[in-house]
Each structure stands twice: as C-alpha cells, then as structure tokens.
C-alpha cells in the first residue's frame, strides 16, 4: 500500500509526495472502517464507552431505522494504537456524513447557504482510552482537508444543562449556533428526547484548525483510508481542560505553540 506524506494546503486529490515512515513518532493509526465486521465493532465499542462513562442516553427506538440509515451513509473512523492492531483493538472512533449523503440530524441550524457535500455532521464520538477521543479529532483534520470540507456540525449532549466536553470543542473553534434543541434519534433515561446544543466551526477558524491539526498526520494511504498520526494527546488535554465552559469563537493558531511550551510538555 502506497503511503503519502501529510496533506498540505491545496491537496484535495491525493497529490502529495511520498513520505517515509518514522516509527519513533508514528504510533497511532486512524482508519476508515469499511467491512461489516469493522463497522459492527465500532457500534459495540460505542455502546461500551457509553456504559463505562455512565451516559444516560440511548438510541430512540422510534427512529432507530432512520438512525441506522444515517450510519450506513456515514464514514466511520476508528483509532488504533498501531498499524498492526486488529479491528477488535479499536480504542476510539467517530462517524461523519456530508449533508448531501444524508440530511443533518436536527432541523437547526440552517446551513443551506453552503454546498451540502462540503458540510459534514460528526456524531457517535467515543473513546475507551483517556485522550484518544481528542486524537481522533486531530486525526480528522487530514481527511477533512482532502474532502474539501467547509463546515463541521456537531450536536453536543446537554444533560442537566451542561456539556462535559465544552472546553475541548471551544478549543476546536466550534461556536454554539441557536438554542438547545431536542435530538430526534437519542433519548435520555426517562425516554425523553435528549437536549443538544448545535455547534459549528467554519470559515477562517476551520481553515486555521485544519492547518494546525493536520500536522498530526505524518502520512496517509494512497486511497486516503489509513492515516498515521503523531501522539500529542497531553497538549490537547491540557488546553481543553484550561478552557471555560461557554463557547466562544477561537482560532487554533495558538495550538502549535502549545506543543513546545513547558506547560504542555
């Protein structure tokens, strides 16, 4: 399998030069999951992660068939500790679909002014290892660049009126878009639709974020299905934990400096 260097600005067609693998820094692998077995393991690990973290929400049975259609239209990404790890060793993952392949889960926000194939909704984000979920997001920067994504949409759980991951999403440059709304595919322990906060990152903030985080990718496969990543989880954890809960539009330009600062070492 041909390996290519990290995608650079303007690389939207796999035109990067070949890169040499450095085993001292390439210690994680992000894969697009394509087989039924891999995708089944993704869902099993997702449920396991929710139970482990004591999540009190679940798939809404009334909309289960529609939600499964959404997943069938989604790219599922799995994170592994090395390139030899089997599918069963998946430690984190995320799903994403563009709005041409499948509509956004909730009616809000209105993103109709953007090309639907350039807007992606990310969901079903899970992790079984501390910090691995953050590295998944960093790893997504390379495929986001290759796909020419112009906006990323996510719906954050607002159980009890707060979001445990607000700090990290703020760091990523996401901003709250509109009020908290009920999610049609997910319900809480009382059978009520789960309240979620729509958040979006786009424009210059997204461009800056992709530019910084794509440096985590040292190389990718010729078919853009396998991405080798540096592991810089600790700086991400420190920055995310330092952020306040409210969402604000931020740039990720300071992230590059944080990787070499004493506080982030």
pLDDT digits (tens, 9 = 90+) for 33-44: 999 999 999 999
Cis ω on the peptide bond leading into residue 109 (within 30° of 0)?
yes
DSSP 8-state secondary structure symbol assigned to residue 18 = B
- Residue pair 172/201 in contact (Cβ under 8 Å)? The answer is yes
Give the best-scoring range by mean pLDDT among 29-33, 59-63, 253-257: 29-33
Phi-psi region of 10 (alpha: psi -120 to 50; beta: other; left: phi over 0): left
Q: Which residues of 209-239 are buried (b: 16+ CB within 10 A; e: fewer)?
A: bbbbbbbbbbbbbeebbbbbbbebbebbeeb
Tokens of 159: 């159980």
Strand pairing class (119-127; 151-157): parallel
Mean pLDDT for the chain? 78
pLDDT value at 4 more than 60: no
Tell me the pLDDT band of 259, cut-offs 50, 70 and 90.
very low
- pLDDT per residue over 194-228, tens digit each? 889 999 999 999 998 898 888 888 899 999 999 99
pLDDT value at 130 more than 50: yes
pLDDT value at 155 more than 90: yes
Report the C-alpha gap between 160 and 178 in whole angstroms: 18
Q: Residue 35: its pLDDT value, please?
A: 96
Q: Is 41 helix (H, G, I), strand (E, B) or coil?
A: helix
- pLDDT per residue over 48-64, tens digit each? 988 886 666 666 666 67
Of 1-10, 108-117, 132-141, give the lowest mean pLDDT range. Answer: 1-10
Q: Residue 123: its pLDDT value, please?
A: 93
Tokens of 95: 């799903």
Neighbours of 66 (CB within 10 A): 14
Q: What CATH code is assigned to 3-256?
A: 3.40.630.30
Tell me the pLDDT band of 20, cut-offs 50, 70 and 90.
very low
Q: Is 40 helix (H, G, I), strand (E, B) or coil?
A: helix
- pLDDT per residue over 100-115, tens digit each? 999 999 999 999 999 9
Q: Residue 247: its pLDDT value, please?
A: 37
With a pLDDT cut of 90, the percent of the chain lying above it is 43
DSSP 8-state secondary structure symbol assigned to residue 60 = -
Mean of the pLDDT values across residues 4-14? Answer: 45
Q: Nearest-5° angle of CA 64, CA 165, CA 168?
A: 125
Report the C-alpha gap between 115 and 199 in whole angstroms: 18
With a pLDDT cut of 70, the percent of the chain lying above it is 71
Tokens of 6: 């990290």
- Residue pair 183/155 in contact (Cβ under 8 Å)? The answer is yes
Report the C-alpha gap between 253 and 262 in whole angstroms: 17
Q: Is 53 helix (H, G, I), strand (E, B) or coil?
A: coil
More confident site: 110 or 4: 110
Mean of the pLDDT values across residues 133-139? Answer: 88
């Amino acid at each position: 399998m041909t390996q290519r260097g990290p995608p650079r600005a303007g690389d939207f067609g796999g035109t990067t030069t070949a890169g040499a693998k450095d085993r001292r820094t390439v210690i994680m692998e992000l894969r697009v999951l394509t087989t039924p077995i891999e995708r089944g393991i993704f869902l099993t690990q997702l449920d396991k992660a929710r139970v482990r973290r004591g999540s009190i929400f679940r798939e809404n049975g009334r909309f289960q068939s529609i939600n499964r259609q959404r997943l069938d239209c989604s790219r599922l990404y799995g994170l592994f500790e090395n390139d030899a790890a089997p599918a069963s060793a998946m430690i984190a993952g995320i799903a994403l679909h563009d709005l041409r392949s499948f509509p956004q889960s909730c009616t809000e926000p209105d993103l109709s002014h953007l090309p639907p194939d350039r807007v992606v909704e990310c969901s079903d984000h899970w992790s079984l290892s501390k910090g691995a979920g953050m590295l998944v997001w960093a790893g997504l920067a390379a495929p986001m660049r290759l796909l020419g994504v112009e906006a990323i949409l996510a719906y954050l759980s607002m159980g009890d009126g707060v979001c445990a991951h607000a700090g990290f999403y703020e760091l990523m440059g996401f901003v709250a878009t509109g009020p908290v709304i009920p999610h049609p595919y997910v319900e809480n322990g009382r059978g009520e639709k789960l309240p979620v906060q729509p958040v979006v990152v786009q424009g210059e903030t997204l461009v800056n974020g992709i530019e910084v985080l794509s440096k985590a990718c040292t190389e990718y496969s010729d078919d853009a299905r396998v991405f080798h990543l540096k592991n810089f989880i600790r700086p991400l954890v420190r920055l995310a934990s330092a952020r306040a809960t409210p969402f604000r539009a931020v740039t990720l330009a300071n992230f590059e400096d944080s990787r070499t600062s004493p506080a982030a070492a």
